[in-house]
């Protein structure tokens, strides 16, 4: 009964490939996010969706495209992968957008681009 | 622009002693602060939070202190236990805006 689940957990792929990471939450939350933990260990927001609509889109290359088929899912597609995309990607959800509520994170997806 | 900073990448304490993790922020608009705990190969999990109208919030062994004038908050764990060994992330948000995280502090509690 995992609250926020993301797949795959580990992904090793070659430069130039296109890959997707899937995320699902069963908490009934309205808002979902993608975070990237970079090499310096900072957790940085990439995207935020509220009721399937894009709310926050930080400065992320166009190669990254989130897709939210419904409120419970937010998938991350990455085209033309580059070495610098290697990171841990965390999906998360919250009841509302940041208004003092806590965020529930998935376990992370370790992406390695070789 | 790292608006939330955890200047100590690691901290080691003896079991039973106090652990103090520090966090500084630069954005005076932040009004909600949280601490997350992260074990290896897992996502961060919420630990404790504090609103800017308070200067202290306690939950069992965990206490968060907020000093708004210094733009500083700290997490105290008393007494520290080996199971507390993890990475602790400080986070802050301003109403209606996204949350900013620090880089984390790795706490090791030695038996």
pLDDT per residue as tens digits for the range B15-35:
999 999 999 999 999 999 999
- Chain B CB contacts of A99 under 8 Å are 95-96
Please report the residues numbered 8 through 47 in chain B whose beta carbons come closer than 8 angstroms to any beta carbon of chain A: 32, 34, 36, 41-46
Question: Residue A53: pLDDT band by 50, 70, 90 thresholds?
Answer: confident
As a whole number, the mean pLDDT across chain B is: 93
Percent pLDDT > 90 in chain B is 84
Question: Residue A95: pLDDT band by 50, 70, 90 thresholds?
Answer: confident
pLDDT at A67: 92
Q: Do B42 and A90 touch (CB under 8 A)?
A: no
Size of interface A-B (CB pairs under 8 A): 54
Tell me if A113 sits within 8 A of A14, measured CB to CB.
yes
Q: Give the number of other CB atoms < 10 A from CB of residue A61.
A: 12
Which among A48, A90, A102 is the nearest to B98, CB-wise? A48
pLDDT at A99 over 60: no
pLDDT at A1 over 70: no
Q: Do A99 and B96 touch (CB under 8 A)?
A: yes
pLDDT at A42: 82
As a whole number, the mean pLDDT across chain A is: 89
- Chain A CB contacts of B91 under 8 Å are 43
pLDDT digit string, tens, across residues B41-66: 889 988 999 999 999 999 999 999 99
pLDDT at A108: 95
Question: Residue A101: pLDDT band by 50, 70, 90 thresholds?
Answer: low
């Amino acid at each position: 009964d995992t609250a926020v689940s993301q797949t795959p957990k580990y992904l090793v792929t070659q430069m130039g490939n296109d890959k997707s990471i899937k995320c699902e939450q069963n908490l009934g939350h309205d808002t979902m996010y993608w975070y990237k933990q970079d090499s310096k260990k900072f957790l940085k927001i990439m995207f935020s969706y509220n009721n399937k609509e894009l709310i926050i889109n930080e400065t992320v290359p166009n190669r990254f495209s989130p897709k939210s088929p419904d409120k419970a899912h937010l998938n991350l597609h990455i085209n033309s992968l580059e070495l610098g995309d290697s990171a841990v990607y965390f999906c998360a959800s919250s009841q509302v957008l940041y208004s003092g509520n806590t965020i529930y994170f998935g376990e992370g997806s370790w992406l390695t681009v070789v | 622009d790292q608006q939330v900073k955890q200047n100590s990448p690691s901290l080691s304490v003896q079991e039973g002693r106090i652990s103090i993790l520090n966090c500084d922020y630069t954005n005076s608009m932040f009004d909600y602060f949280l601490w997350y705990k992260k074990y290896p190969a897992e996502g961060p999990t919420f630990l404790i939070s504090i609103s800017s109208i308070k200067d202290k919030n306690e939950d069992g062994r965990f206490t968060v202190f907020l000093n708004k004038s210094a733009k500083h908050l700290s997490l105290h764990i008393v007494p520290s236990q080996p199971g507390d060994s993890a990475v602790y992330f400080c986070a802050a948000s301003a109403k209606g805006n996204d949350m900013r995280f620090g880089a984390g502090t790795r706490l090791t509690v030695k038996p």
